[in-house]
């Protein structure tokens, strides 16, 4: 009986510790939420969400992309780049703005620390 209680308590402590390590997801306003939806529909095929890490076709995007310069971000998303299609015919300016607003909520990826040599 006591052992069960101990196991239960331990499981609870471990579970809540694991939970508290997750950073709280940023609260998105409706505009940013729309941007996130458009982003997952049209962009993640080439720009995977940061938590999935490197190895994506396009660079990881975050609030640090292009120094967070909103007019350059808008321009790149509208007109594309050599290996990226532009979206100005697919999305209205306010939809592109919402994608930019969403990107500004994505934390910059922390560089992966190199494994120390042994």
Three-state secondary structure call for residue 81: strand
Using an 8 Å Cβ cutoff, are 75 and 34 in contact? no
Give the separation between CA 14 and CA 48, rounded to whole angstroms.
30
Q: Which of 61, 95, 98, 101 is in the footprint of ligand HEC by CB under 6 A?
A: 61
Task: Name the one range near ligand HEC by CB under 6 A: 14-22, 25-33, 51-59, 107-115.
Answer: 51-59
49 near ligand HEC (CB under 6 A): no
57 near ligand HEC (CB under 6 A): yes
Give the separation between CA 25 and CA 106, rounded to whole angstroms.
10
Binding residues for ligand HEC, rule: CB under 6 A, are 39, 42-43, 45-47, 57-59, 61, 65-66, 73, 76-77, 81-85, 87, 99
């Amino acid at each position: 009986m006591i052992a069960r209680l101990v196991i239960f308590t331990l499981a609870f402590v471990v579970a809540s510790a694991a939970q508290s390590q997750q950073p709280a997801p940023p609260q998105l306003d409706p505009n940013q939420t729309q941007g996130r939806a458009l982003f997952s529909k049209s962009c993640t095929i080439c720009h995977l969400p940061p938590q999935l890490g490197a190895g994506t076709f396009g660079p990881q995007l975050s609030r640090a992309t292009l120094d967070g310069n909103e007019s350059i971000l808008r321009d790149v998303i509208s007109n594309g780049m050599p290996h990226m299609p532009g979206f100005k015919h697919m999305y209205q300016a306010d939809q592109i703005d919402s994608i930019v607003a969403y990107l500004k909520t994505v934390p910059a990826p922390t560089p992966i620390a190199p494994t120390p040599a042994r």
